[in-house]
Amino acid sequence: MNFMEDKLIDLAKSAGFTNAEWIDVSQIVCDRKFREQCAVNACGVYGKCWMCPPDIGEIDALIDEVKSYSRGLLYQSIFELEDSFDFEGMVEGGRLQNVRSRALDKGLKELGYKNYLHLSKGGCGHCSPCAKAKGEPCPFPEEALSSLEAYGINVSATVKGTSMKYINGVNTVTYFGIVLFRED
Ligand code: SF4
């Protein structure tokens, strides 16, 4: 691992993430079936956010885009819950994950990084509601974040090739994100 890779892991940890690790893009498992799962709309955001399906784009093109990168900084946050029915705790963890992702993104930009692809948890969450609700363009394209699942990434299968765990014990919820880079 080179100096900058070490530095970006430190940056992710300082943004608040529990763990961060570099992976090769060849380790990322993609599955176009995730688009069908999004369309079920269990999260209630399908078709209501510019960064979510179907507006984010066609699934095969997005998977091709993921595979066009070289390496990824995969990160996770593990949050404690009161019990397995602690829905409020899960929502709060999701909100914090997006706050941390944007802190990491700000740090990357301050270091001069650009042309990377940053994917966090489902739903951009930067505005409430998303400008999509009024059919208006996104006013914050630099801060908008899409999700691993919207790009067809099978997170549980991808994590198997890393030191991280997808599930981290009873009464916890874990959220992931990744920043994809091309070789210079
Ligand atoms: S930044 Fe706001 S308007 Fe843009 S995609 Fe995210 S939630 Fe929607």
Q: Is the pLDDT of residue 53 over 80?
A: yes
Q: 73 has which bridge partners?
A: 22, 179
56 within ligand 1 shell (Cβ under 6 A):
no
- Cα–Cα dist 144/129, whole Å: 13
CA distances from 28 to 19, 31, 50, 112, 177 (A): 17, 10, 24, 25, 12
pTM: 0.94
144 within ligand 1 shell (Cβ under 6 A):
yes
User: Span 84-102, mean pLDDT?
Assistant: 93
**Where in the chain are the domains?**
3-181
In this prediction, residue 113 carries a pLDDT of 94
Pocket test for ligand 1, best of 50, 55, 118 (most atoms within 8 A of CB): 50
Q: Is the pLDDT of residue 184 over 80?
A: no
CA of 95 to the centre of ligand 1 (A): 14
128: number of Cβ within 10 Å: 6
